[in-house]
């Protein structure tokens, strides 16, 4: 007999009380109606019901820019006129995405529910998680779009990716695991070593303190498998520099000969993180064999025989 799958349902009774404004097609009140039907059909007896936690500022800036989220926190219908018109245009505030009372709390509610659902799935608390208030997929990194202000889907996916390898492994299918991107060498090495342990069901048996090797200084200053990566770098780019760079790029693009079938439109700018590419001096022999110095390295004993 098939084992019954565990289902959790997230619902905040306040989430349906928000209002985008007269004649706006997006109506959060649909959440209240949905919940009433679910309850009256007796479906809540078949699953666990939770009032979700609210998403914090830090949760939301895991995808969105901090300036944009702070704007959502600070703006209200009564003070919107105090914000520069350019800022409202930058964040795409208008008829589709109006400012309404409690907008930040609304975003915090539905995003918090999606994030908590992802955490429950990652920690195997449940097999299926439902959050009908979530799914606002149009919101972009630094602007609202299509009735959506905070993209809870992306934020939930970022949480789910923490256990991606482990989850795919449980499917029991033939699995090819590859490397790819990642250019901070010490973090790539830690990540891939940990995921190797996950694939071997050894993640709970390896120490967070890195074992000694001739390359241990690459992992200065913490020498741990799971370092604290919460520190964020300040964006030192000025608006003047970005605008000058944008103008230069556009001037170069104007010199390109376009194919008739290709549309050439301006894409809204974004602030991208820059990554320092660390090059490794390859000294391996032809054929991919180790050098003699590497062959003399002390043999690492396997975790399992």
- Which positions are annotated as active-site residues? 138
CB contact set of 125 (below 8 Å; sequence gap of 6+) = 6, 8
CB contact set of 88 (below 8 Å; sequence gap of 6+) = 80, 94
Give the separation between CA 133 and CA 15, rounded to whole angstroms: 8
Dihedral angle sign, alpha carbons of residues 215, 218, 221, 227: negative
**Secondary structure element (H or E) that encloses residue 49, with its range:** strand 48-50
Give the separation between CA 92 and CA 179, rounded to whole angstroms: 38
Strand partners, 289: 285
């Amino acid at each position: 007999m098939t084992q019954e799958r565990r289902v959790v349902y997230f619902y905040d009774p306040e989430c349906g009380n928000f209002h985008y404004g007269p004649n706006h097609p997006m109506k959060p009140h649909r959440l209240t109606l949905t919940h009433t039907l679910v309850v009256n059909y007796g479906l809540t007896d078949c699953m666990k019901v939770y009032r979700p936690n609210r998403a914090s500022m830090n949760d939301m800036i895991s995808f969105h820019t901090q300036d944009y989220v702070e704007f959502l926190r600070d703006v209200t219908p009564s003070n919107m006129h105090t914000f520069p018109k350019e800022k409202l245009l930058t964040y795409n505030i208008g008829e589709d995405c109006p400012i309404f009372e409690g907008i930040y709390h609304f975003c915090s509610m539905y995003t918090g529910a999606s994030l908590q659902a992802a955490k429950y799935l990652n920690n195997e608390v449940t097999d299926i998680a439902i959050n009908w208030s979530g799914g606002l997929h149009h919101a972009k990194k630094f602007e609202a779009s299509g009735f959506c202000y905070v993209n809870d889907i992306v934020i939930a996916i970022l949480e789910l990716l923490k256990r991606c390898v482990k989850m795919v492994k449980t499917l029991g299918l033939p699995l090819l695991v590859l490397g790819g991107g990642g250019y901070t060498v010490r973090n790539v090495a830690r990540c891939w070593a940990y995921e190797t342990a996950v694939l071997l069901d050894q993640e709970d048996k390896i120490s967070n303190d890195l074992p000694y090797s001739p390359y241990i200084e690459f992992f200065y200053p913490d020498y741990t498998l799971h370092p604290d990566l919460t520190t964020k770098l300040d964006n030192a780019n000025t608006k003047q520099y970005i605008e000058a760079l944008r103008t230069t790029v556009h001037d170069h693009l104007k010199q390109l000969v376009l194919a008739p079938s290709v549309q050439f439109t301006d894409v809204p700018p974004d602030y991208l993180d820059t990554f320092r590419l660390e090059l490794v001096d390859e000294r391996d022999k032809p054929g991919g064999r180790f050098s003699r110095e590497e062959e003399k390295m002390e043999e690492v004993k396997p975790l399992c025989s």
